[in-house]
Amino acid sequence: MSDSRLPVTVVTGFLGSGKTTLLRHLLSEGHQRLAVVVNEFGTVGLDGDLLKNCDFCPDDEVDERIVELNNGCLCCTVQEDFLPAMEALLLRSNHLDGIIIETSGLALPKPLLQALNWPAIRSKVFINGVVTLVDGYALSNGSPVGDFQSINEQITNDNSIDHLTPINELFRDQLISADLVLISRSDLLSAKDFSLVRDEVKKQGNHITNILPISNGKIEPSLILGLTNEQNNISRLDDHDHDHDHDHDHVDVISEHLRFEFPIEQDVLREILVKLVPEYQILRLKGRCWIEGKALPLQIQMVGSRFNSWFENSSDASWKPSRAGLDLVCLSLKGGVKKAFEHSF
Distance, CA of 132 to CA of 129 (rounded, Å): 10
* 234 — pLDDT class (breaks 50, 70, 90): very low
Residue 145 has pLDDT above 90, yes or no: no
pLDDT at 229 over 50: yes
SS3 for 227-247 is: CCCHHHHHHHCCCCEECCCCH
Each residue's pLDDT tens digit, 98-114: 999 998 777 788 888 88
Q: In Å, what is the CA distance from 209 to each residue of 194, 201, 289, 341, 345?
A: 16, 10, 25, 20, 26
Q: Which amino acid is at 145?
A: V
Cα–Cα distance, 57 to 44 (Å, whole number):
20
pTM, to two decimals: 0.85
Q: How confident is the model at residue 69 (pLDDT cuts 50, 70, 90)?
A: confident
Domains recognised in the chain with CATH numbers: 6-225 (3.40.50.300), 253-342 (3.30.1220.10)
Q: What is the share, in percent, of the chain residues with pLDDT greater than 90? A: 53
- Which residues pair with residue 210 across a beta bridge? 180
Closest to 130 (Cα-Cα) out of 151, 158, 102, 153: 102
